[in-house]
Amino acid sequence: MIRLSSLLALSAALSSTPAAGHPSYSTPNQPSLTWDLKPTNTSAQFRGLSPVSDSTVWLAGTNATVLRTTNGGATWNNISPVLLPENSTLFQFRDVEAFSAKTAVVLSIGEGNASRIYRTQDAGLNWKRTFVNDDPTAFYDCMAFENKIHGLAMSDPVQGKFKLIETWDGGVTWDLVSPEGMPAALTGEAAFAASGTCIEAAAGRWYIASGGVDPGRIFRSNDGRHWKVSNSSIPGSPAAGVFSVRFRDAKNGIAVGGDYEKPTGNTDNAVWTKDGGKSWHRAKTFPGGYRSGVSWVLGQTQTAIAVGTAGSDITYDGGRNWKAIGNGTFDAVECVSKNVCWASGSGGRIARLKI
């Protein structure tokens, strides 16, 4: 079976032109925004992105590539794990979770033992492999941490349910979470390893975004063990569904997605909730195309940024309406303060947005 996660490689070459006819809404007194591209001197595709400050950012991407900057993107250091040359192209890093300028964990995706986790606590001088998937039917997509010690990593369904592993020591060790509290997956349902945000931790709660079924669904949990699920209004197919879900508190969340085979499709690709994910509502004005990642701007309760291979957008009203940002075509986005967001994507692209 071809997993949804592996199909995403097709999107790397999609157009960088924002969708024509992007809907707009009035945002008086809002400044014009422009992404400031930072050269990385690499062609890797970076779907893993984790800034820990305005100036320190970690990237994880294709061919087991890990980069880090500590000067706001002026220079980037290649701190990739040392792997056998024949193995480096096999491991595709799709998520990174950094806790400081020195400590981070990265997730490699794929079937069987291609799914694995590495950890460093000395800024990449040394890496330790802390998890290798031994289930040939599992395919890990993404991970999230609620603090520096407790995290979950998620696999596509195994025996009819999404599979989770858990760490209580910052990624040093991982244990299987019992599947008893997970609702059954629907036929064809899976997650997208597109931006490291198909699982989310916020305000003591957990969320999972899925696609492959129509509509895409969003799971929620108060403890990471017992889950409930709700439909979104984002249409699903083998190439479509909910790609990214983010919450700013226990009640208010945003989810984005679409169809990566139709990157400029700009209807029914964003939803919002105000009841903790029990119910989801369509945006009034949608982002300008398929969107793989979204992030709340810290300290601005109604502002968030969404990115995709056909453009990027900002909302000032909690996801009800979206407005295009002119020059942004990326896979992942993370806002690190009330003034700064970072985004990453194909061709070594990394950019800083000052709000």
Instruction: Establish how many alpha carbons lie within 13 A of residue 67's alpha carbon, considering only the half-sphere containing its beta carbon.
Output: 28
What does the alpha-carbon distance between residue 23 and residue 285 come to, in Å, rounded to a whole number? 6
Amino acid code (one letter) for 294: V
Tens digit of pLDDT per residue, the chain (355 long)?
445 444 444 444 443 333 433 444 445 466 789 999 999 999 999 999 999 999 999 999 999 999 999 999 999 999 999 875 556 667 999 999 999 999 999 999 999 999 999 999 999 999 999 999 999 999 999 999 999 999 999 999 999 999 999 999 999 999 999 999 999 999 999 999 999 999 999 999 999 999 999 999 999 999 999 999 999 999 999 999 999 999 999 999 999 999 999 999 989 999 999 999 999 999 999 999 999 999 999 999 999 999 999 999 999 999 999 999 977 899 999 999 999 999 999 999 999 999 9
E-strand ranges in 56-127 read 57-61, 65-69, 77-78, 92-98, 104-111, 116-120
Domain boundaries, the chain: 44-284
Joined together, the tokens standing for residue 63 give: 């061919």
State the burial class of residue 167 (Cβ atoms within 10 Å of its Cβ: 0-12, 13-18, 19+).
Answer: buried
Whether the model pTM is above 0.75? yes
CATH topology assigned to domain 44-284: Methylamine Dehydrogenase; Chain H (2.130.10)
Helix, strand, coil percentages, rounded to 5, for the chain: 5, 40, 50
Spell out a b/e string for 40-66, using b for 16 or more CB atoms within 10 Å of the CB, else e: bebebbbbbbbbbebbbbbbbbbbbbb
pLDDT given at position 90: 77
pLDDT given at position 10: 45
Find the distance separating the first CA and the last CA of the chain, reported in whole Å. 43
Joined together, the tokens standing for residue 42 give: 């690499």
Nearest to 234 by CA among 200, 267, 187: 267
